[in-house]
Amino acid sequence: MATLAGLKLLLLMLDPLPMFFLGDSQTYLGTAVNLLIPPDRSFVYGFFVRLAAVTTGSLFYLVLLQVIISTASAVILIFILVRFLATRFRTAMPLGVLCAMEPLQLLYERYVMTETLSLFIFALYFLGICYYLDNRSYLRLALVQIAGTALITVRLSFLPVVICFAVIVPLLPLLKSRPFPVKALRIVAAHLAFSLAVTFACHSSYKHLNGFLVKGPAAYQYQSGLFLAADFAPVLSPVDFPDQRLAPAIFSGLVFDLKDRKARGQQHWMEGGLIARMNMVIPDLLKADNAAKTTAVNALKRDPLGIALLALQGFSDYWDPQMLKPSMVTDKGSDRELPPEMLHSLKTDFNLDAAGLPTMKTITGTYFFAAWPWYLVLLCVPLLAAFTLVFNKVGRDKVFLILIATSAVVATASLLIERPTVRYLHPLGWLFFLLAGPVSNSVAHILRRKELQR
């Protein structure tokens, strides 16, 4: 553990500067400094930034805290490997060190972004699930669902995983019990009902709190429909719009080709794009968001194969270096300078001269770009999880959950995107090294079986 902490501390000393991604970081800083509640991002992370950086007057302390919790995520990984996945410590420790040195982990520790905090909460969430599966109780199940809710308050992209786990985790004991005694089925059914009830209560409470803070209806966010419509743009058609009287005014005046999946960013953010047209025709933000969400859902119902093809195309785009590498420049935030008002806030509130930071060469930034083949490996983690599920005999319930989680992350990073976005692969690094323990066990089992057959 001392080696792990020492490596993290050394890298922090060599690369201590906070970094930013527009406009997410600017939004979080707005919450931290001015208590502004954003309609489309986490206000919880903004309060975390306020606690770490505003109270101290320096973003260095945010970076320091994120390095600490990133190290804690690696320690949790080691513990899960040894305690729940039958991995020897001499194998688990190097895996933890490699996880701590993974390029996406190192890069986003330094960013005013949700990645590091959300991964730490996910690690705690997964640890809680492991304890629940080890010894089922209503208290442990409730704590798991509370942790899952905390996770989505920081990073909503984990919502599909949290919802799936709320259903799957209570059902996993059925994989071990054959035949199924009636009493066991009743217990599982009771735990499933309890899990769903706690999940519903926690999520509803968060949505109502969010609505109270923004003085709007209860919701996770208030622009998720607009994001979804932009991501689904190549499959959308005027017939999908819920109000056919307004459809021509939106779809007939588009500046960018609706069918061009590479223009989804322009459809979302540029004047003359799909979202700008929707907001122009429907000035009320909530009504525009609801209309956009309904449009996307209608497109999914009308052309599910088209949505599936869009996801496959999005997945394939990662394998094209000519698309991936320019997108990585954007993910690092090096594609544009910080706006004057943000520079002023950073100087005034944090005594940070941030001019030139986006294009500054750093150790973690250089490592991030050099490691681009690694991100292709991360895309294949679900296949590795499926292989491990077949051949591994210990902790198969946990491996199954890893398969679900990695599949959800890859699916999200392939479909709900405007371009290849390696930032969305961030959780896969931790999950890869968590899976590496059972993989090593599977390989050892196969080798032993071959030796016995000789």
Which is nearest to 308 in space by CA: 234, 380, 382?
A: 234
CB atoms within 10 A of CB 260: 12
DSSP sequence for 394-418: SSHHHHHHHHHHHHHHHHHHHHS-S
Confidence of residue 435 (pLDDT cuts 50, 70, 90): very high
Which is nearest to 234 in space by CA: 156, 160, 313?
A: 313
Mention every residue, 6+ apart, whose C-beta is less than 8 A from residue 222: 39, 40, 214, 216, 285, 286, 289
pLDDT above 80 for 451: no
Radius of gyration of the chain (CA): 23
What is the predicted pLDDT for the residue at 185?
87
* pLDDT tens per residue across span 25-53: 999 999 999 999 999 899 999 999 999 99
Torsions phi, psi of 21, nearest 5?
-125, 120
Helix%, strand%, coil% for the chain, nearest 5: 75, 0, 25
Torsions phi, psi of 111, nearest 5?
-100, 145
Least confident of 109-113, 275-279, 351-355, 440-444: 440-444
The tokens for 347 are: 């100087």
Average pLDDT over residues 395-424: 96
Distance CA 382, CA 399 (A): 10
| 152 vs 179, more confident | 152
Q: Is 32 exposed, middle or buried (0-12, 13-18, 19+ CB in 10 A)?
A: buried
Provide the 3-class DSSP secondary structure of residue 111.
Answer: strand
The tokens for 445 are: 């089992």
Distance CA 99, CA 349 (A): 33
Would you give the distance in Å from CA 309 to the centre of its chain? 22
For the chain, the residue count is 454
Confidence of residue 443 (pLDDT cuts 50, 70, 90): confident
Distance CA 226, CA 277 (A): 11
Q: Which residues pair with 111 in a beta bridge?
A: 19
Which is nearest to 443 in space by CA: 393, 375, 383, 407?
A: 393
Alpha helices in 135-181 (DSSP H): 138-154, 159-171
Distance CA 387, CA 382 (A): 9
* pLDDT tens per residue across span 241-277: 999 999 999 999 899 999 999 999 999 999 999 999 9
Confidence of residue 395 (pLDDT cuts 50, 70, 90): confident
Mention every residue, 6+ apart, whose C-beta is less than 8 A from residue 270: 255, 256, 276
Distance CA 167, CA 10 (A): 42
Least confident of 160-164, 195-199, 213-217: 213-217
* Strands (E) located in 276-315: none
Distance CA 72, CA 100 (A): 9
* pLDDT tens per residue across span 266-323: 999 999 999 999 999 999 999 999 999 999 999 999 999 999 999 999 999 999 999 9
What is the predicted pLDDT for the residue at 81?
97
What is the predicted pLDDT for the residue at 178?
64
Which residue has 């996945």 as its token pair? Answer: 85
Provide the CB-side half-sphere exposure for 247 (13 A, CA).
12
Which residue has 């700008």 as its token pair? Answer: 276
CB 422 within 8 A of CB 375: yes
Which residue has 């190549």 as its token pair? Answer: 234
What is the predicted pLDDT for the residue at 179?
66
What is the predicted pLDDT for the residue at 394?
80
